[in-house]
Chain A
Amino acid sequence: MFERSPVTRLLPVMLGALISLAGTTAAHADATLDKIEQRHVLVVGVLLSGGPFGGIDPATQKPRGLNVDLAQELGRQLGAQVQLVPVLPANRVQFLQQGKVDLLIANMEWTPERGEILGSVPTPFYRVGGSAAVLKDSPIARWEDLKDQPVCTSQGSSYVKPLTEFGAQIKAFKSSSESLLALRGNNCVAAVHDATLINPLLADSAEWQGYRALTPELNPAPSVIWTRRGETDTQARLDPIVQELHRSGWLIEAQTRNHITPASPALVELQQKFQASGA
């Protein structure tokens, strides 16, 4: 009557083979380190929003900044070719989660909420807090003065939460450049970003002469290299490299090379810590 075709008869066998194959690939826990060691490629998401941490060099049209230097140095030490992928604050987490990038060096500070959804290299490479650019004659002197005032920032900024707690009305733009333009258009009383973006901008640029920065820094937090959650092998491989970069003074030198002002006291502190423990 009805006879099974050879293919249908083999179906359970093929399915079984497929399932066992899937099982063997799942045995590799940390795909990123495997990929780096086998294919010698490291894909790093960097934030190129301008400023000394990451931006485009107007002369050569190439990315530059501390983020870029650090990515290249990691690649050199791992013997891998570095591919840079520009990310935005609003999409960087998704880029990492979906595997478009292996690591994030994107001005993203460690917070407990982020620590739950992603993994990170334990040793931070920088410490940074928020600062606000306000008009020189503005009455705002303390962070508490921002209560019920419109404040510009970027979507995905880690300062949204503390600013909400101060009672500020947040206006979050796609990136820091739009936020700063909106401040200059008087759409808000302050623009809050990393102090490492605000300080050099106000110090160097003639266009920003009418503005001053708000101190002290808001919520100083460690900047870390982010990995996908659970990729402990990659973290364990990168952690001694970052510690060595502190110990040898490479990070302090990179800070000077990229004209990051004011120089971070945290870098000196970390260098002393690792020099003491390493010696």
Chain B
Amino acid sequence: MNHWLEFFVHWASSLGLNYGFLLDAYPRSTLAQGALTTLWLCLLTIIGSLLTGLGLAALLTSGKRALAVPARVFIEVTRNTPTLVQLYCAFLVLNMLLNQAVGTANPLTPFAWVVIVISLHKGAFHAEALRAGIEAVPAVTLEAARSLAFSNRQLLWNVQLPLALRFALPSLINNLIDLVKMTAVASAIAVGDITYSAIMIWTQSDNVLELMILLLGFYGLLSFIVNCVGRYLEARLRMPGYGH
């Protein structure tokens, strides 16, 4: 491992890039810890946002006004305001109020706030993608299912969602790639993700270019992995004669 790192540092220096800090234990462990935090953030927000999206889409297409209207209002508010502003609002305002109410027993860490805010924000986008999928299920299919005495819940879970997922998958993957990049806002409230680690290193020394290249490479790789998983799922879930 160390041998490869030294080789890389040597190779980069022949290009005029100074990656010497990677051989230093402190910045290297800071960056590695940051990368791990970003991976956790991605994993938790992907799960959180998909669950939120599913819930909101179910409310939107329930056909009951009392459920659909609040869901619509939530989506419009969440979708139409910037993530960074929402994060500041949640962490600097809501969290402060919560602290004043319950004192030091407040269980929500900055990390938890990032997960909550990004999950809700991206969940609103997922909901719209899933709604498009659900509404694209042909009416005759639904009639056929109803004639087999499916309840509303069974209809959604066994008929609409499996078909809707196939329609919505490209949009959902698109949203998830955006979500991976969005986790960088965590650095604004001092959650130690990889962007934050890089800022902390480059404000103390002169290696902005090297760290920027590293950051771009890392996020690029992460988004590419999400993209590949999406492509695999699309191929895997393809139904001959339906959609394609």
Chain A residues proximal to chain B, CB less than 8 Å: 89-90, 93-94, 113, 116-117, 152, 155-156, 160-161, 170-174, 178, 181-182, 184-187
Contacts and interface: CB of A to CB of B under 8 A. Distances in A.
A173 B190 contact: yes
Interface string B99-118: 10000101000100000000
Contact of A156 (B91, B110, B189, B203): B203
A93 B203 contact: yes
B206 interface: yes
Interface string B182-210: 00000011100000100110011110100
A181 B96 contact: yes
12 contacts: A90-B203, A160-B203, A172-B190, A173-B188, A174-B188, A178-B88, A178-B188, A182-B91, A182-B92, A186-B99, A186-B104, A187-B95
Contacts of A184: 96
Contacts, number: 55
B62 to A, nearest CB: 37
A149 B107 CA distance: 17
B239 to A, nearest CB: 48
Given A94-B208, A152-B190, A172-B190, A89 B203 contact: yes
B95 A185 contact: yes
Contacts of A156: 199, 203
A122 B95 CA distance: 45
A171 B199 contact: no
Interface residues on B, range: 20 to 34
A94 B92 CA distance: 28
A178, A182, A185, A186 — most chain B CB neighbours (10 Å)? A185
Contact of B204 (A161, A171, A185, A187): A161
B203 A187 contact: no
B137 to A, nearest CB: 46
Contacts of B92: 178, 181-182, 185
B200 A182 contact: no
B110 A117 contact: no
B95 A113 contact: no
Contacts of A94: 208
Contacts of B110: 171, 187
A155 B196 CA distance: 9
Nearest to B84: A174
Contact of A155 (B91, B104, B200, B205): B200
Contacts of B189: 173, 178, 182
Contact of A113 (B199, B200, B205): B205
A182 B87 CA distance: 13
Contact of A117 (B95, B196, B206): B206
A100 to B, nearest CB: 14
A187 B99 CA distance: 9
B187 to A, nearest CB: 8
Contacts of B88: 178
A184 B97 CA distance: 10
Given A117-B206, A152-B190, A174-B188, A186 B106 contact: yes
Contacts of A171: 110, 190
B206 to A, nearest CB: 4
Contacts of A161: 204
Nearest to A161: B204
A194 B203 CA distance: 17
